[in-house]
Amino acid sequence: MIDKYNTKVSMFQCCKSPVVLKEVPVIKILNEIKTGGDNLDLLQKARQQGKGSCIYDKIKTQKLNTFSPNASFSRKRKASRIKNLTGLVYLDIDGCTEIDYQNPYIFATWLSLSATGRGVLIKIKGVTEDNFSSAYTSIAREIGLDVDPNCKDITRQVVISYDPEIYINHGSKAYHYKEVEPQDELNIPLTVSKKRKKEKCDLKGDKLFDNIRWDNIEDYDLKGEDFVIFDENQYFSKAYIPETIEEGKRNSTINSTIHQLKALNPELSPTDLYRLINILNSRCSPPLPYSEIEEVKRKLSEKLEENDQFEPLPNYRRRVIFAKGINKRDRQKIGAQVSGEIKVNTTLNKIQECLDDWDLYKGRVTNNKIAKAIGRSKKTVDKYSARFKLQKKIINENLRS
């Protein structure tokens, strides 16, 4: 494994301990996730018991070490004790383990403790303590990851999980954050990133690839509408040519990219695909030797001769899709509107669930208590307080009786 990016993070005894145990290089944490370390038996036991079980919860909160991926701390984990930012942002993907490993921004990703979600680390530049929250939203939105918006706490700690197949890319691109974007919670890339534009331009010198199809979003029937909003994220297929392919991932990246391009563009001939293989190899660092590239082409030729089916890989999740003719400005306007509606509905649902599950031992219902329980500000809860006035009154009257 190549040690190229080794910023230090704070490590803690467990979720319930805010005291810094020690500072360690992040690569040490990632290697421990790969092997399970001294806690392998506990990690496997928790995963076997399943999320929500008493044993799982006890192991997660009391037995397993944690680390703070976003910042390191002086003695204690709290905002006033931040010593340094790590230059990383941790994104939490809940309820889904599929991810596009070709995404050039992903530094590392691994399965969560429950194996039902993922943790993702992204290198970032331009982030400060003051803009961390907006940077979190911006980066998730730009790279198209559907993340938990409630997890953008700079002091967040993460359980050191177990994933022998952890993905690490020391050559990943750093995300450069600039405070120019509107604040919203919806992870929809509203513009074509400079990265994608550059990748497509690299092929424009060859007329053969002028009409190459990079995704299958247009296959979805919008029934004449300008856009469609899905209740849940929908999977589509997308292909792109990475800017850099590091050693150890060259064969897999070339093969998966060629597969996706052929699946999205059945009309591509063997000659077209061989040319694409050469383009991909030019992005490898270092490029594969001639003999290995010829072997890649030979295996592809066999698949083509056997008429193997190239099925698109569902690696691209979208909540909103737009008709082809919708311009950038309209997409931004629609995206902001949808984002606001989803944010409001999410908050209302959280307040409702909080009140429905209110335990009497918590005492009287107050907006402060609701805000703390759902991870929102009191100002936000105050805004919607009138909608739940009757339910709060009933709960509080029951407490007096």
Q: Along the 401 residues of the chain, how does pLDDT read in single tens digits?
A: 334 567 999 999 999 899 999 999 999 999 999 999 899 999 999 988 888 788 989 999 999 999 999 999 999 998 899 999 999 999 988 777 777 777 888 999 999 998 888 899 999 998 898 888 888 888 877 766 667 666 778 999 999 999 998 999 988 888 888 754 333 333 433 233 434 434 443 454 456 567 788 899 888 888 888 888 887 778 899 888 887 888 888 888 899 899 999 999 999 999 889 989 988 988 888 888 988 899 999 999 998 988 778 888 888 878 788 887 788 777 777 777 776 777 788 888 889 988 888 876 578 899 999 988 888 888 889 999 898 888 888 888 877 76
pLDDT at 94: 78
- Exposed/middle/buried for residue 304 (C-beta within 10 Å: 0-12, 13-18, 19+): middle
Q: Which helix (H) or strand (E) holds 27?
A: helix 26-35
Q: Please check whether residue 141 is in contact with residue 203, taking contact to mean a CB–CB distance below 8 angstroms.
A: no
pLDDT at 5: 67
If we measure between CA atoms, which residue out of 110, 113, 15 comes closest to residue 66?
A: 15
Beta carbons within 10 angstroms of residue 339's beta carbon: 22
Q: Rounded to 5 degrees, what are φ and ψ at 222?
A: -80, 0
Q: Please check whether residue 139 is in contact with residue 89, taking contact to mean a CB–CB distance below 8 angstroms.
A: yes
If we measure between CA atoms, which residue out of 148, 163, 161 comes closest to residue 51?
A: 161
pLDDT at 206: 54
If we measure between CA atoms, which residue out of 82, 90, 85 comes closest to residue 30?
A: 90
